[in-house]
Amino acid sequence: MSDLLERKLVFITGKGGVGKTTVSAALALLAAQKGKKVLVCEVDAKGDLASFFEVDELVFKERQVSAGLWAMSMDTEASLREYLKLFLKIPLVGRIGPLAKAFDFVATAAPGVKEILIVGKFCWEVKENSYDMVIVDAAATGHIVGQLAAPQAINNLVKVGLIRSQTDWMLDILSDPSKTGLCIVATPEEMPIAETLELVNAMGEQTTVDLIAVIVNKVLPELFTKREEDIFESLCVAKAIKALNELLDGDVTSVLEGASLAVKMRRSRTSHLKRLRQELPEQYPIYYLPYMFRRTEGLRATHQIVTALSEELGI
Amino acid sequence: MTAKTRTTSPGDSASLVGLASLDGLLASKEIAVFCGPGGVGKTTTAAAAALMAAAKHGGKVLVLTVDPAKRLANALGLSGIGNTETKISKAAFEAAGISGRGELWAAMLDTKQSWDDLIKRHAPDEEVKERILSNPLYQNISGHFVQSHDYIAMERLYEIHTEGDFDLIVVDTPPTRNAIDFLEAPERMSDFFSSRLLRWLIAPYRSKFINFASRPFYQVADRILGTQFLGDISEFFILFQSMYEGFAERAEAVSKLIQDSRTTFLVVSTLETFPIKEAEFFVDALLERNLSLGAIILNKVLPDYFRSTKAISAAEQLDKQFDKLANELLGKMSGAGKDGAGVLGGLNANGDLSRVFKEVGESFLNFSVVAKKEAEQAKELALSSEITVKIPFFDTDIYDLAGLAKLGRSMWS
């Protein structure tokens, strides 16, 4: 089974719009289909994850969405509440209101606090062993390093107290490559690839979290072989177009133009993929997922990506 | 209130006031804020629009960008040392085939630097300034403050506008977790400093007595964070408090500026499902706040021919009757003499040609579905503004001035 499904805690990141949530949903469903008990969580609460399973809005309390699969949505205040209950034995909900507000405040000022409530929740689930696998539809490339580096940052700032000992065990889980890893989703375009490569460097420098793989989404199909491309080009001359127009009913010119656009799109994307393979250290695999011409949301899209992903992972 | 602009049908009154195009919009406004979901081309479209405004309207135009791709940053002369406005040389302009009347300037947002500038401006005295700048917590925060990017972008905009050096400032907004965060950033910043909670939080460090009511909080906070850390935070806030009035006034002024009638917002989106949803959400957020929605910019729009029935019909025939058509064409071309046949005649290309036909037809039909779906999805968004700009799918990346000019011209027409 692929390394991607071996870890207990997988963070999935990527530039906005590349399909982080699609990949998270598909990976979670795939793992569940392989018999694992899986929790998938959306961190940036946009509410898209629910639509990939066709379920009602997700909340902090995890809910079963299909066989072996539970889903939740991150909410820092709820996470704080759970934390206080677990570690400080403070069950007084009424008094937590202002307390949570005050904490929100501290969290706004000291960046690590909010992040640690997020990352801490997942580490806790791993520590408790309540699931075989926890998949996090995490923050975008710009924020993920801050999130994953938070326990270390707090660990450096806070020398004593409960938080200090908390960050110790969190770091143990996060730094263990057999338990935790990060997966970066990209599309074959300039900025997502550039950000991916930057992130790989930043991760190594600022965090102890292991990179598992890069998943390239929305890869266009190759239209022609070199030989077929030559033939196609010879079709795009006036005489051939004229002849073809006589043979069939309709607008052939536009169809050829469309194919030519598809070839060029594919080609410019190929150059970005080449750059990724050249500059990404060899030990990290790259998996490719196809561009989906029809459905890009909903359970149908999830199912199709599951199929593509399992083929790509060879499972 | 929400539906105010949405119900306006495109084109009717617009032509009367001469605001029906991006051209007119940018001629009339002083600040154009490009916003929308991540990854849709905000930076590139903002730069292209600024370039066109400089070329066509003259004067001095600044594009204030947040996180440009490296090659684009180079093209704009932004080598990574941010915050200072740099002029794009006339020579570079002309080399890119742009005969402009005006000047294009570019600046990149350096969050850390901007924060430091802000502290220097508002600190009541030298000592407070030094203490804040050297506070480890501040150093951490100025780089990562939640919403600090958002606020700083608006703050810089205000700063530049107040200096009065530019006829038009085009702003590319930072990628935020939530597209509307930056709209609320100034307000939130001023709330933050005026908050009763903040005063409550730092109270025990000002006096020796801990208020009875707040005692449980400190007991809990102490256990979680440790006294020393809490003390650090409080010291930091106490220092910040001394700058409250300056900050609050400033945040207020920034708020006013983005509501000013000389400021307009342009929502950029591609036609994909999720960006469209986010863009719609954003449009509603603008309208709710009574901010001016100047234009919708739809980027990477597939050519219209993908939706033409004639083209689709031709593609269907290629997709289904590829073998028959390939044979027929070969027959026809072989009779047409050597020049017309080219590779077709040269190769015994029967099998290959069939495959090419099949691929061409299938690919066209695939993109057809995408084009139809996207056109449908963009309908409502396109109606929300009097001006909708469609930018076609460019088959190459845009990374230099010539590319920006090409993009700009397609937005202008």
Q: CB B314 to CB A105 under 8 A?
A: no
User: Cβ distance A222 to A296 under 8 Å?
Assistant: no
Nearest-neighbour CA in chain B from A35: distance (Å): 31
User: Cβ distance B292 to B261 under 8 Å?
Assistant: yes
To probe the interface with A, which of B180, B182, B274 has the most A CB atoms within 10 Å? B274
3-state secondary structure of B271: coil
Nearest-neighbour CA in chain A from B342: distance (Å): 6
Nearest-neighbour CA in chain A from B24: distance (Å): 31
Model confidence over A61-105: pLDDT tens digits? 999 999 999 999 998 778 877 877 777 665 544 455 555 555 655
Q: CB A109 to CB B141 under 8 A?
A: yes
Q: CB A293 to CB B195 under 8 A?
A: no
**How confident is the model at residue B198, as a pLDDT?**
60
Q: What is the ipTM of this complex?
A: 0.87
> Is residue B238 less than 8 Å (CB to CB) from chain A?
no
| Dist CA B145 CA B142 (whole Å) | 6
Q: What percent of chain B has pLDDT over 70?
A: 73
> Is residue B38 less than 8 Å (CB to CB) from chain A?
yes
Among residues A22, A17, A272, A189, the alpha carbon closest in space to that of B272 is found at A17
Four-residue CA torsion sign, B312, B317, B320, B323 = negative
Among residues A301, A292, A289, A291, the alpha carbon closest in space to that of A54 is found at A301
User: Cβ distance A50 to A56 under 8 Å?
Assistant: yes
| Dist CA B151 CA B149 (whole Å) | 6
Helices (H), B110-174: 111-122, 126-134, 136-144, 148-163
* pTM attached to this predicted model: 0.85
Contacts of A88 in chain B (CB under 8 A): 220, 223-224
> Is residue B331 less than 8 Å (CB to CB) from chain A?
no
| Dist CA A115 CA A43 (whole Å) | 10
- Per the listing, tokens 């590829």 go with B322
Helix, strand, coil percentages (3-state) for chain A, rounded to 5, are: 60, 15, 30
Q: How do strand B103-108 and strand B86-87 relate by DSSP bridges?
A: antiparallel
| Dist CA A151 CA A119 (whole Å) | 8
Give A45's DSSP letter: -
Residue environment code for B140-163, b if the CB has 16+ CB neighbours within 10 A, otherwise e:
bbbebbbbbbbbbbbbbbbbbbee
**How confident is the model at residue B147, as a pLDDT?**
52
Q: Mind listing the domains of chain B with CATH numbers?
A: 15-305+374-411 (3.40.50.300), 306-372 (no CATH)
Q: What percent of chain A has pLDDT over 70?
A: 89
Distances (CA, A) of B87 to B75, B109, B163: 12, 15, 16
Nearest-neighbour CA in chain B from A167: distance (Å): 11
Mean pLDDT of A29-36: 97
Q: What percent of chain A has pLDDT over 90?
A: 56
| Dist CA B311 CA B316 (whole Å) | 9
- One digit per residue, the tens of pLDDT, for chain B of length 413 reads 444 444 444 445 444 544 479 999 999 999 999 998 888 888 899 999 999 999 999 999 999 987 777 777 777 777 655 668 889 888 888 888 888 789 999 988 877 788 888 888 888 889 888 888 877 677 766 655 545 667 777 888 898 999 999 999 999 887 665 556 667 766 766 666 666 556 655 555 555 445 555 556 666 666 666 666 666 666 777 777 777 777 778 888 888 998 999 999 999 999 998 889 889 988 998 999 889 999 999 999 999 999 999 999 999 999 999 989 988 888 887 765 555 445 455 554 557 888 999 999 999 999 999 999 999 988 889 889 989 999 998 877 788 899 999 999 999 97
| Dist CA B401 CA B413 (whole Å) | 18
Q: How do strand A69-73 and strand B31-35 relate by DSSP bridges?
A: unpaired
The lowest-confidence range among A93-97, A174-178, A274-278, B331-335 is A93-97
| Dist CA A190 CA A167 (whole Å) | 37
**How confident is the model at residue B197, as a pLDDT?**
57
Model confidence over A205-218: pLDDT tens digits? 989 999 999 999 99
Residue environment code for A125-158, b if the CB has 16+ CB neighbours within 10 A, otherwise e:
bbeeeebbbbbbbbbbbbbbbbbbbbbbbbbebb
**How confident is the model at residue B15, as a pLDDT?**
46
Distances (CA, A) of B55 to A200, B75, B79: 40, 16, 23
Q: Is A201 left (phi over 0), alpha (psi -120 to 50) or beta?
A: alpha
Model confidence over A234-262: pLDDT tens digits? 888 888 888 888 998 899 999 999 999 99
Q: CB A110 to CB B275 under 8 A?
A: no
The amino acid sitting at A107 is: A
Q: CB A243 to CB B333 under 8 A?
A: yes
The amino acid sitting at B20 is: A
Report the residue count for chain B.
Answer: 413
Give A134's DSSP letter: E
Model confidence over A110-151: pLDDT tens digits? 556 778 888 989 999 999 999 999 999 998 877 788 888 888
Count of CB contacts below 8 A, A vs B? 239
**How confident is the model at residue B231, as a pLDDT?**
67
Q: What are phi and psi of B200, to 5 degrees?
A: -65, -40
Nearest-neighbour CA in chain B from A1: distance (Å): 32
In the numeric block, which tokens belong to residue A122?
A: 């997942």
Distances (CA, A) of B289 to A200, A268, B275, B286: 39, 41, 21, 5
| Dist CA A163 CA A115 (whole Å) | 13
